[in-house]
Amino acid sequence: MSSNKQHCNSYEWRGFMLDCVRHFMPISFIKEILDQMARLKLNRFHWHLTDDQGWRLPIKARPLLIEKASTRIDGDHFIGGFYTEEQIRDLVKYAEARDIVIVPEIDIPGHVCAALHAYPSLSCPGHETRIPNTWGIFEDVLCAGSGETAIFLNDVFETVLDLFPSPWIHIGGDEVKDDRWKNCPKCQKVISDNNYPSERSLYSHILSPICQLIRSHGRSVIGWDEMLESCPQEDIIIMSWRGEEGAIEASKQGKKSILCPHEYFYLDYPESKDDPIPGADWMPTLSVEKMKTYEVPKIEGILGLQSNLWTEELLGPKEARHRIFPRLETLAKKCHQKTSPQLKTSEKVN
């Protein structure tokens, strides 16, 4: 098998993200993707495992995450699935043999409706949250004032650290509404007791202990670019998806970043409005030609590039393949054309 190791003109991070939450993707298909990544010398498989619409990761201390949070009913359709510990360990080895690191993502403190469905005590209202069949940003978040939240997250991330030897653990941190926190007496008490200036501080209240746990195991934390605003004090790698601004700000703060601006690297976007898969009528389009025009900004701290595939409209492997190829080849070519030399941030930002 050909080596997938870094060449001098390649970025350190050459990534692809697969969302297996909105629609479950079988292990056989993931191995197929890993084979294709190895062929293209891509080396980071970002595995999105939890979100509002489901929970795919087994946590022994929290069995209801599989029993209740891994499935949902949409009309006459049963949508669900989860990965066993054995499957995960096997997949990690499969990827390692191809010089690919699997980077797991557990998205917190928002995008947690499925977890709150299984464990209502983690929510601000304290009642069972339904698992949605729609997409978007929901009000339900982890409750900063619940004594169960920190215990739950410790159970989850201790398992993640055990299952995945990855040097990086992704904790999400994106698209979090604070309406629940504003109206929750328990959260307001946390703000008062800690002299926090606002609800914004509750992000760090929840996420900082997890960042510390991950770092205590010698790993690095990755988060979406919203974490620059919610947890600016944390030493994390920023995944810049809302354009390049996240990478630019990360560089100002001395942080590393990974570029995946949605308008150039979100493969769930159809190539044209004629795409037969639902969603083409409202999604932006992303052609191979547009991807080819992308130029990496010359700023310090960019580890590399990544394409993301969200599966809201992709029911299974057939639809996923349709969106992934041939655009993944275009990403790979970009990953092997490292911008050099890097300019200092002060030369980039006036």
Q: Active-site residue numbers?
A: 51, 111, 175
Q: Which two tokens stand for residue 214?
A: 């991950």
Q: State how far the Cα of 348 lies from the Cα of 188, in Å rounded to an integer.
A: 41
Q: State how far the Cα of 138 lies from the Cα of 109, in Å rounded to an integer.
A: 11
Q: State how far the Cα of 91 lies from the Cα of 102, in Å rounded to an integer.
A: 8
Q: State how far the Cα of 215 lies from the Cα of 213, in Å rounded to an integer.
A: 5
Q: State how far the Cα of 320 lies from the Cα of 309, in Å rounded to an integer.
A: 8
Q: How many other C-beta atoms can be found within 10 angstroms of the C-beta atom of residue 197?
A: 8
147: CB partners within 8 A, 6+ apart: none
Residue (of 172, 155, 173) closest to 163 by Cα position: 155
Q: How many other C-beta atoms can be found within 10 angstroms of the C-beta atom of residue 186?
A: 15
In the three-class reduction of DSSP (H, G, I as helix; E, B as strand; rest coil), residue 75 is classed as coil
DSSP letter string, 15-27: EEEEE-SSS---H
Q: State how far the Cα of 212 lies from the Cα of 77, in Å rounded to an integer.
A: 41
Q: State how far the Cα of 324 lies from the Cα of 39, in Å rounded to an integer.
A: 14
In 119-182, alpha helices (H): 147-163, 179-182
In 40-146, alpha helices (H): 64-67, 85-96, 113-118
> Rg of the chain over CA atoms, in angstroms?
20
Q: State how far the Cα of 12 lies from the Cα of 336, in Å rounded to an integer.
A: 10
Please give the backbone phi and psi of residue 254, each rounded to the nearest 5 degrees, phi first. 75, 20
